Amino acid sequence: MANKLKIKKGDLVQVIAGARQSRGGDRGKQGKVLAVYPERNRVLVEGINRVIKHKKATQTQAGGTAGGRETHEAPIHVSNVALVDPKDNKPTRVGYREETVERDGRDKTVRVRVSRRTGEEI
């Protein structure tokens, strides 16, 4: 069963756990969420948790060989990142607020994500 995550694709997040940048880690770095994997509780963040994959040189149809080392982002656990508050660019927790919106002459209740830090809508 997939879990409901408070971080969505396209959100700006900051790494809050792991090795410091001075030690070669990613803590404190910010990046945009490229993909969310709720079944594994992981998110793929642009520029974070980069790993090197070695690719074997193979013969292509055009006659060239493509191989070598490629760097890719690897998924990181969702508990190690926090959403960035749009108001002050600092990590924040996510809350929800219910608002009533009028659409097509009817009142509809909508859940809106809000920053726990400032109360701003995300």
Do 13 and 55 have their domain in common? yes
Domain count, the chain: 2
Do 17 and 37 have their domain in common? yes
pLDDT at 1 > cutoff 70 = no
- Burial bucket for residue 43 (CB in 10 Å: 0-12, 13-18, 19+): buried
Q: What share of the chain in percent tops pLDDT 90?
A: 78
Per-residue pLDDT band for 49 (boundaries 50, 70, 90) equals very high
Do 14 and 48 have their domain in common? yes
Over residues 102-109, mean pLDDT: 89
Higher pLDDT, 3 or 100: 100
Do 62 and 12 have their domain in common? yes
Q: Which domain holds residue 25?
A: 1-83
pLDDT, residue 66, reads 77
Do 14 and 49 have their domain in common? yes
CB contact at 8 A, 13 and 45:
yes
Per-residue pLDDT band for 105 (boundaries 50, 70, 90) equals confident
Do 77 and 28 have their domain in common? yes
DSSP-derived secondary structure letter, 17 = S
Do 21 and 44 have their domain in common? yes
Within 8 A by CB and 6+ apart from 41, the residues are: 3, 5, 77, 78, 79
Question: What would you report as the CA-atom Rg of the chain, rounded to the nearest whole angstrom?
Answer: 20
